[in-house]
Every structure is written in structure tokens, then in C-alpha cells.
Structure 1
Amino acid sequence: MGKLSRGFLGGFQGQLGTAYGCFWRLMDLIKAMPRKSNKPPTAKQLNVQLRWALITDFLGWLAPVIKVGYQNKPSNQSAMNAAVSFNVKNAVTGVAPNYMIDFTKLQLSEGVLEEASGYTVATAIGSKLEVSWLASAAGAVNSYVTDKVSIMVYNLDKHKFVMLKDVATRDDLEYSVQLPLDYSGDTVHCYLTLTRDDDKMVSTSQYGGSYTII
């Protein structure tokens, strides 16, 4: 990468032969065009690509949750990239090329807001899930009665998500999830996250277990 000092080319943007110019941080820069590699990817590279694609496709359905849930990302990453990076490292199991998601380790948000104490899920007739949690202890740090509760349910058989964002508050202590009736007999995985009412603080997501809908 070279820096132009208003020489014979002056400042320019776009491609010129095998180079391209851009204006960055009040400087005119010239860079070489990246070269295409004719080398086939190694087995290690292919494995990384498979794991990355698996998580990227899965989390793409939850973009609104991820955007808030990973807002405290490193400055050089998007919220989605931060979420994918974490889950590729921690929530993928199996042997190449048959990778699978470990739903018990999947993390949909990461933060310091107090988690939902005593979080439980129970099935109910009519394709329902009864979600409940306990009140935070008196004086609990980073816990507010107005914190918003979001519930995510993944149908393993139909490969579909039910995303219920901000459907309750921490002091509600319970929420009844009505799933589609055709979910009866299917296996689902449940997650819960909390967000402060100004969306500037989140809890680390909690896994609520796997259930067969009745």
C-alpha cells in the first residue's frame, strides 16, 4: 500500500490497471489489487468454511436479536460476525463434513445484565410452552423490573424459529408461548434473553432445554 502526495496522479479513486485508489483518514492511498489464488482450499480451510456457513445460516434468522445481543462487540466486527465467531468456536460439534449445532451451548446474546433466575420451561396441551422465572434478589446488580424478556423457540423438525422479542418484562415472572398447532409432536429448543428498557444492556442468553410439543 502506498500513500500519494498529490504527485503525477494526484488523488484518485477506483481501479487503475492493477492498482486502485481511495481516500482514507484524510489521506490519498493506492493499493495493489488482490490476486486470485488458483490453489484449492486445504482440508482445514474447508472445515472452517463448513462450520462458519452452518452457524451463519442458523443465526441469520435471528438478526434482530443478534443485533442487540452482541452490541458490545469488538470495534472491528459487526454484531452478527461476533455472534458467528463465538458460536463457531463453542457451539459446533461433530466431525467434518457432518457438523451439527450443539444447542445447549448456542449463545444468542452476551452481556452483563442479570440473567433470569430460576428460568424454567414446561409444555402444555395445545402446542403451548409455559415459561417462568423468579424475581431477582433484593439489591441485585444490573437487574431492573423493566428489563424486557425475549423468547426464542427453534423447531428442530421443521427448521423454523418462533421469535418473540420484548414480549414481557422481568417483573412479569411468566409468559405463555402459543406455538403453531402443527408443531405438535415436534422437538423444540428454547432460549431466553433480557434487554434493559433502553436497549443498551443485555444479559447472556439462557438455554431452557429441549421439549416435545403436545
Structure 2
Amino acid sequence: MHFAVDDLSVLSISLLSKFVSQDMYTFSRHNLLTALNLNSDDRFPVLKKIKESNTAIYKYIIDNIDGYLNFLNDDEYVLDESESLADILSDIYNSAYYTASDNSAVFIDSFLSKVSPEAKISSLNEELKKYAPDLLRNDLVSYTFHNIFWYLKELMFECDNILVVPELLRTLVFARPCGGDQFAAGTVSPSLDMSR
């Protein structure tokens, strides 16, 4: 049986380190913040920073990712930049929770809903190919000509991805370009809006 302390804040620093390194604590917001050497009223750092500071805590979070998502406040995010998105998603997709999940698509959507809008992918590439449908479905990819054509070329004819294509095509055909390679947000003409 795995022993777990209910409140890490009562432990000495040396004991705290031992308990944290072996995941011997109840998985709670308070304990995670304590393990990260933060106060209970501090904000959760993004996953990239947690991974950089303590891999044991990061792995414990990944293995209990559903609970972690429930601990986050409305203004807290799992990620706030796109550079580490593929790396973190790889860890999530390979986690025990994800592989045992009955409804992995719903879980991934709830995870991606906690990614900051600032982490939007500006350019799809081979590293993100596996995650592209989920990223597009959750509006985490900039609607550029490059990204739309990359998606159509690389993934359109895979069965699970065909459902994302109509929205992409609607964006491509009916959105007004706002300069460069980017589409303006919310520029679909009401008379051409097929979603109504």
C-alpha cells in the first residue's frame, strides 16, 4: 500500500523533498503548490516551467492530469507559449491517464481548452502532425494559407480528420484576408455564413 501525506506543508524541508520525489503525498492543489515551493494563494506555473524545475512533480501531474485540470483557476493555463506544446502533448498522449481514458477526445479537448490563446501555433509542421486535428478543433492554430494547405495536403484524407475540413474550407473561402498570410478574426460575411 502506498503511503501518502495529506498536507506537505507540515513537513520539514528534508522530509518534503523525500516525499515529493516519491509521489508520497495526496494529489491536491495545496500540496502541488507546496511541492513547488509556492504559497497556497500563488498561481500555478505553466507545465513547461514545472517540467524544468522538477521532473518528479511534472510526471506526477501528467499521471493525474485530469485532477490537475480541475485545480486550475479560470485565469490559469497549462501552457502560455507554443514552443513546448508538441513536447507536452507527447507526454500527455503517452500518459497512463490518457491511454486508460474511455473518451480521450473529450479529455484532450478539456486539456487544450486550458492552453492560453497566446500559445496559438503560427506554423504547422511534421512535429505537430499527430496533434493537428485536436489543435485545429480547439482553435489553437492560426488560420493562415500555409496552415490550411499544409493540413489539407498532409491530413485531409485520413478518416478521423475529414470532419475538420469543412470549417477550414469555410474559413479559407469566406474569411477576408487582413494582410500577410493571416485571416482576420470574425470576418465572415453574414450572408455567406453557413453555420446558421
Q: Provide TM-score, normalisation by structure 2.
A: 0.22
Larger relative CO (CA 8 A, sep 6+): 1 or 2? 1
Larger Rg, first or second structure (1 or 2): 1
Q: Which has the higher helix share?
A: 2
Q: Which has the higher strand share?
A: 1
